Amino acid sequence: MGNPNILDDVFEKFVNCAKLFKDREVLRHDYLPEKLPHREDQIRVLGQAVAPVLKDARCSNIFLYGKTGTGKTAVAKFVLSHLESKAKEYGAPVKFCYVNCRMTGSEYRVFASLSQSLGLSIPFTGLSVGEVFDRFRNGLDASRTIFIVVLDEIDALIKDRGDGILYELTRINEALHKSKVSIIGISNDLRLKEFLDPRVFSSLSEEEMVFRPYDASELRNILLERSKLSFYDGCLSEPALSICSALAAAEHGDARRALDLLRVAGEVAERNGSPLITEEHVRDAEKHIEHNKVVEALKNLTLHSKLVLLSVYHLNKASGTNATTGEIYDVYNELCGELGVSLLTQRRLGTLINELDVMGLLNSKVVSMGRYGRTKKIRLEISRTLIQDVFGSDERLSRMIKYEPKLLSKNTHNRH
Ligand SMILES: Nc1ncnc2c1ncn2[C@@H]1O[C@H](COP(=O)(O)OP(=O)(O)OP(=O)(O)O)[C@@H](O)[C@H]1O
Ligand SMILES: [Mg+2]
């Protein structure tokens, strides 16, 4: 049988059995539902906080924070889209700009987006940040508006570049005569305060709203609403719905995680040609998502972290026991030599090991060696096969997987 026949079969199965999804888009992260169950209080409080702009007054700067997937972005967009239509209805001179700081990237581009939303044209590059800011401020003042700026994932901007941009923005009203600016800042990093100048923080959080995690029954309601839009009636089993909510609640009450589980479970069921999404499909989805997360994490490591991981891989393969930092450093040293890259210090390597531990790729624990004191023992938290699969597609690293460290073969000989 030729290859086209295989595909005929795949496509046919898909077309004939794909009766699960009514609308896949509804489960995407950026889909904004018309109802946000369990966020009524936050919607009301944010609504009250921004309402003054309908009467020509500036509203307070507001800071929203809470863990990931707790509905901050959804609530902010929901309230602002309603405010926008009300402002049009009343003819209030209000303008809005939503910026995701992580995706936008730099201060330059944040100000460029703000300027563009006012109809100012800013070249893609070529000006200094100060010049873009001046153009923004002058253009804004001339536009005679109340401008609401939403800076989502604001931590991305601050951790990379400090809080200069926020300092300028929080003080901009002093320099404006005909326009006013209010800022809605959003962050899922609760330690953000530590990164900010206290003056900037207090002016950003004239009002503060905390989004607590959802519990399992709240997640269940959220998923139920969403599933009515995304799946045909009767395609989602009760146990599947409950297990999606329970799994996401056990992690930290993350609605995005719950929606991902539901979407992937639907895809698994679809691939199996099943007319019903079952608990087992959700379990499969969980493994699938977890696997993809680890693969992504592995791919995105820096070269030296990859080499550290490979060193543990070789030690594990050679002896099967846990390795010490010293042993890892020796193998790492050899791999660096083979690749012709310069070594990091053993101290820096210790930091990388800790990072890999936090990411769940390595596990290090301190063990007592009796009167010889204590030492750290490190082992792989993921399978060797996974490392082979992911690093195998990189030419340099695949060579290092096959490479047999001289140090280890010598040790093996000594032991025999
Ligand atoms: N109360 C809710 N009702 C319906 N859907 C919700 C609710 N809360 C969150 N969601 C959905 O869950 C997903 C994650 O929510 P959202 O993007 O608002 O999280 P977030 O708090 O901004 O997270 P992060 O800090 O990671 O940006 C989105 O798809 C959103 O539509
Ligand atoms: Mg968000």
Residue 263 Cβ inside 6 Å of ligand 1? The answer reads no
Distance CA 356, CA 359 (A): 5
Point out the ligand 1 atom lying closest to the alpha carbon of residue 76. 18
182 & 314 share domain: no
Is residue 74 within 6 Å of ligand 1 at its C-beta? yes
Write the burial class of residue 401 (CB in 10 Å: 0-12 exposed, 13-18 middle, 19+ buried): middle
User: Which numbered ligand comes closest to the C-alpha of 69?
Assistant: 1
pLDDT the model gives residue 150: 96
Nearest one of 407, 312, 401, 300 to 353, comparing CA atoms: 312
How far is the centre of ligand 1, averaged over its atoms, from the C-alpha of 31 (Å)?
9
State the CB neighbour count (10 A cutoff) for residue 161.
Answer: 12
Domain boundary among 297, 332, 348: 297
Residues 6 or more apart from 158 whose CB is under 8 A from it? 166, 192, 195, 196
Q: Cα–Cα distance between 145 and 253 in angstroms, integer?
A: 39
Tokens of 53: 């702009």
- The SS3 assignment for 102 reads helix
Q: For residue 30, give the ligand 1 atom closest to its CA.
A: 29
33 lines ligand 1 (CB under 6 A): yes
Count of structural domains, the chain? 3
Q: For atom 24 of ligand 1, which residue has the closest CA?
A: 68
> How does DSSP assign 216-231, residue by residue?
HHHHHHHHHHHHHHHB
CA distance 289 to 326: 34
For residue 35, is it within any domain? no
From the list 229, 256, 232, 233, the residue with the least C-alpha distance to 244 is 256
Q: Give the residue whose CA is nearest to atom 27 of ligand 1.
A: 68
Q: Compute the distance from residue 259 Cα to the ligand 1 centre, in Å.
A: 9
Residues sharing a CB contact under 8 Å with residue 106, sequence separation 6 or more, in sequence order: 161
Per-residue pLDDT of the chain (416 residues; tens, 9 = 90+): 557 677 877 777 666 655 899 999 999 888 999 999 999 999 999 999 999 999 989 999 999 999 999 999 999 999 999 999 999 999 999 999 999 998 887 888 899 999 999 999 888 888 888 899 999 999 999 999 999 999 999 988 877 666 777 888 889 999 999 999 999 999 998 778 777 888 888 888 899 999 999 999 999 999 999 999 999 999 999 999 999 999 999 988 999 999 999 999 999 999 888 989 999 999 999 999 999 989 999 999 999 999 999 999 999 999 888 899 999 999 999 999 999 999 999 999 999 999 999 999 999 998 887 777 788 899 999 999 999 999 998 888 999 999 998 888 755 444 43
CB distance 308 to 327 below 8 Å: no
Would you say 325 and 350 are in contact if contact means Cβ atoms under 8 Å apart? Answer: yes
Q: Which atom of ligand 1 is nearest to the CA of 255?
A: 12
Does 37 contact ligand 1 (Cβ within 6 A)? yes
> Is the CB of 253 inside a 6 Å radius of any atom of ligand 1?
no
Same domain, 293 and 305: no
Taking the centre of ligand 2 as the mean of its atom positions, its distance from the CA of residue 74, in whole angstroms, is 7
Do 18 and 73 sit in the same domain of this protein? no
- Long-range contacts of 390-397, Cβ-Cβ distance < 8 Å, separation of 24 or more: 390/295, 390/298, 390/299, 391/298, 391/306, 391/310, 396/339, 397/306, 397/310
Verify that 138 and 20 share a domain, yes or no.
no
Choosing from 40, 186, 188, 256 the residue with most ligand 1 atoms within 8 A of its CB, the one to mutate for a pocket test is 256
C-beta of 29 in contact with ligand 1 (< 6 A): yes
Residue nearest atom 13 in ligand 1 by C-alpha distance: 256
Q: Whose CA is nearest to atom 9 of ligand 1?
A: 71
Residue 373's identity, in one-letter code, is G
Residue nearest to atom 28 of ligand 1 (CA): 29
Give distance in angstroms: CA of 282 to centre of ligand 1.
Answer: 20
* Alpha-carbon span 132 to 283, nearest angstrom: 50
Q: CA quadruple 319, 323, 324, 330: dihedral positive or negative?
A: positive
Please tell me if the CB atom of residue 223 comes closer than 6 angstroms to any atom of ligand 1. no
Same domain, 75 and 139: yes
Residues 226 and 198 placed together within one structural domain of the fold: no
Instruction: Give the Cα separation of 356 and 290 in Å (integer).
Output: 16
The CATH number of residue 341's host domain is 1.10.10.10
Distance of alpha carbon 17 from alpha carbon 384, whole angstroms: 37
Cross-strand bridge partners of residue 2: none
Among the three residues 297, 316, 336, which one is the final residue of a domain in this structure?
297
Identify whether residues 93 and 64 lie together within a single domain: yes
| Shared domain check, 344 and 310 | yes
CATH number at residue 88: 3.40.50.300
Alpha carbons 78 and 91: distance in angstroms, whole number? 20
Helices (H), 179-237: 192-195, 198-204, 216-230
Same domain, 12 and 102: no
Residue 3: CA atoms inside 13 Å, Cβ hemisphere, count? 0
Q: What pLDDT score was predicted for residue 16?
A: 65
Q: Is residue 112 part of a domain?
A: yes
Closest-CA residue to 68 (of 224, 217, 252)? 252
- Answer whether 239's CB lies under 8 Å from 276's CB: no
Token readout for 116 is: 């563009």
Same structural domain, 269 and 234: yes
Of 165, 196, 211, the domain-final residue: 211
Ligand 1 mean position, distance from CA 323 (Å): 42
203 lies in the same domain as 218: no
* 34 in any annotated domain: no
CA 393 to each of CA 299, 320, 390, 396, 399: distance values in angstroms, whole numbers, following the listed order: 10, 25, 6, 9, 10
Tell me if 278 sits within 8 A of 244, measured CB to CB.
Answer: no
Give the residue among 177, 141, 147, 160 at the shortest CA–CA distance from 61.
147
Ligand nearest, relative to CA of residue 257: 1
Looking up residue 233, the CATH number of its domain turns out to be 1.10.8.60
Domain check: are 206 and 221 in the same one?
no
Which pLDDT score is estimated for 14?
66
Structural domain of 241: 3-28+214-297
